[in-house]
Every structure is written in C-alpha cells, then in structure tokens.
Amino acid sequence: MRSNTVKTRLAAGEIVVNAWLSIGSSYSAEGVSHSGVHSVTVDLQHGMMGFSEALHMVQAISSSPAIPLVRVPDLNPAEIMHLLDAGVYGVICPMISTPEQAAELVAACRYPPFGNRSFGPSRGLLYGGKDYVAHANETVMAIPMIETAEAVERIDEILAVEGVDMIYIGPNDLAFALDGNVSFPRPRSEAAIKTVIQAARKRGVPVGIFCADAEDAQARHAQGCTLVTPGNDFGHLTRSMAAAVDTLCATLSENTPSQAAHGY
C-alpha cells in the first residue's frame, strides 16, 4: 500500500506543513499540492464544496507527493467512510469533546475487528494499491479536533483512546469557547492550548493546529505542534491580491504626474 508520509514524518518528529483548501476547485487543489507541502486538507466543514467537488480535489492532490486529508462537517460515520473510500488518508473531525466521540471517529476509520468501517474501498484501491484493505487500518489517520472547553477538560481521556493518530487544535473555536471571542489577547484559550500540547506530548500523540500565517505556524511549531497549517487557500489568495493592488497603486501614484500639472 502507498505509505502515509504524514504518519512517518510525525513518527520521526519531523514537521508537516499542511495546506488547507476552502475553494472547491480541482485546479487550485492541484497547484497547491505541488507547492512543496506535505499534506493537503480539503475542508468540507467550512469550505465551499460538497462531496463531488471534494472527490475531484482529492484526485488532483493525488497527482502530487502530498497526502490527501479531509475535514468532515461533523461526526457522521457514513460520510467519513464515503470519503475514505474516495481515497483520503486522514480524517479531521471537528468538535470532538469526549472520549466516546473520539472512539466513534476511530471506529469509522477502521475496518473490523478494530472498527466498523464498511467494505467498499472504491478509489482507495486505485490510490492506495491492491493491498489497501489489508493495510488501511494502520495507514489511515483518525484525527479529533480539540476546540471546546469540555475537550480541554477531558483531553487525557481523549488521548487515551486507542487509534487516535493525532489531535488537531482549532484555536478560533477554542477562543470562542474560553475567551468569548476571537480577538486577541486570548489568555484562557492560549493557556488551554499549552495544556493540550503538554498532555499530548506526554502521551506521544502528535499535535496539529490551524495557524493564521507562516509566522504563526513557526511559533506554534516552537510551542510543540508538529503539523502546522499556515492559513487557507482563500486567505492566501485574497492577501496576495490585496498586497499586489496596494503595491501597484502606490507605485502608480508615485510615478503619475498630478492632474493639476496637466491642467485638469
């Protein structure tokens, strides 16, 4: 079976740079996946796409060395299994607050006897290889998102669930839950993030986190997160375009004679 290089990098303590796609386009997914990132997450929770678009995006990502991941809208085993059948190698599930929910996520990602994933690998065989079913349980990643007050309180129980391959911190929802808003400073949620990272490191469970940009990703990596997501595609696109417009307008303003000089 095709190896999951995200798992091998995490096991070796190496950084994983993860792209995040909210635009439903296989073309942009293909371009981003060839940018040098180690993994690409298709966001079905807040992204502007459905399953059909996500399938095309996963196919585009598969043309690159990057590992295809997905964030599902919620803890829906049938939808999780469908996306795994489409060939994704890891499922990030939002709003996991209890060990029971974490166990349900793991079960949806594992074939019997370690879970209840239904047989029907479809595209998984094409992407993973003919021995996909024999090795999927050890290759596919189950990744709970930690972004509620209860999840922080019960983090040791969640981390103890067998089959949790990584946890992924959602700092913005955590800020809503603990600080009441997403504005900085975020004293309570930042303290909670440190608590979660420390607990995960004690258990030997890797930590991923969504970041505002590359600078934020560097700081989170220094804090102990091994997988970092330096913003999403829409944010990079709009920031880059705005910066280009600002630069161009400033340059044109400096180099264009005033209207008064032309008698206007």
Predicted confidence (pLDDT) per residue in 31-49, tens digit: 999 999 999 999 999 999 9
Rg of the chain over all Cα atoms, to the nearest angstrom: 21
pLDDT in tens, 49-63: 999 999 999 999 999
Number of Cβ atoms within 10 Å of the Cβ of 28? 16
**If we measure between CA atoms, which residue out of 190, 185, 226, 184 comes closest to residue 209?**
226
CA angle, 105 then 116 then 123, to 5°: 85
- Written as one string, the DSSP assignment of 17-58 is EEEEE-B--HHHHHHHHTTT-SEEEEETTTSB--HHHHHHHH
Catalytic residues: 46
From first to last of its 264 residues, the chain has per-residue pLDDT tens of 999 999 999 999 999 999 999 999 999 999 999 999 999 999 999 999 999 999 999 999 999 999 999 999 999 999 999 999 999 999 999 999 999 999 999 999 999 999 999 999 999 999 999 999 999 999 999 999 999 999 999 999 999 999 999 999 999 999 999 999 999 999 999 999 999 999 999 999 999 999 999 999 999 999 999 999 999 999 999 999 999 999 999 988 877 665 544 454
Rounded to two decimals, what is the model's pTM?
0.94
Q: Is the Cβ–Cβ distance between 159 and 187 less than 8 Å?
A: no
